[in-house]
Amino acid sequence: MKDKYALLPQITLYVLLAIGIAISVLFYYGGSAGTLDVAGDALNIPRFTDLFLNWNYILLFLTLCVTIVVVCKTFINRFKVDRKGALKSLAIICLFVLVALICWFVGSPEKIDIIGYEGTDNEGAMAQLTDAMLYFTYLLLVGVVVAICWGYIYTRNKK
């Protein structure tokens, strides 16, 4: 019975990959919904832009759901064996959530001017979410650089 479920993640990966490739091909080669004149240049507007963006939203949502489930399952399993270690990992997760909330409140809900865009998804909560994700990405990038530098210094001094 377990062997039947062992293939499920692999099949899911290939199905999502195939759908993603098909949507990407449609986006890049699916034709034009028209052109937009910006500063004398004619910009092509891909026909399947909404489909491409919605697919990315779906993948983001699935990634968040899977991540949350895996983190919760790992925490529960670790809590059964090593309570102190599990609480340390919970503190790190809480720190990430706190940083994400700080990034959210630092973000601005003011309208972002995008050339040729007439919708309302560039203001309010979506604009604030965009700012928050950018700030969070910057902080993670700095953290990665610091971790790389610290790891290099630590291993050099340990020898």
More confident residue, 2 or 79: 79
Same domain, 23 and 64: yes
The yes-or-no verdict on residue 68 having pLDDT over 80 is yes
Same domain, 110 and 58: no
Domain assignment of residue 135, given as a range: 83-159
Give the pair of three-digit tokens for residue 60.
Answer: 């983001």
Closest by CA position to 141, among listed 111, 86, 109, 103:
103
| Per-residue pLDDT reduced to its tens digit, 43-56 | 788 888 889 989 99
Residue 135 confidence (pLDDT):
94
- The number of distinct structural domains making up the chain is 2
Same domain, 73 and 149: no
Same domain, 58 and 88: no
117, amino acid identity: Y
The yes-or-no verdict on residue 71 having pLDDT over 90 is no
Burial environment of residue 20 by CB neighbours within 10 A (0 to 12, 13 to 18, 19 or more): middle
pTM (predicted TM-score) = 0.64
Across the strands, what pairs with 158? Answer: none
Residue 8 confidence (pLDDT):
84
Final residue belonging to a domain, choices 52, 81, 110: 81
State the Cα–Cα distance between residues 154 and 159, nearest whole angstrom.
9
Residue 1 confidence (pLDDT):
54
| Per-residue pLDDT reduced to its tens digit, 82-136 | 999 889 888 988 998 999 999 999 998 888 777 767 777 788 888 898 899 999 9
Residue 8, CA distances (Å) to 2, 3, 18 in order: 10, 9, 15
Same domain, 2 and 75: yes
Give the containing element (helix H, strand E) for 4: helix 2-6
Same domain, 109 and 150: yes
Mean pLDDT of 132-149: 95
Same domain, 76 and 109: no
| Per-residue pLDDT reduced to its tens digit, 2-12 | 677 788 888 98
Q: What is the residue-averaged pLDDT of the chain?
A: 88
Same domain, 152 and 136: yes
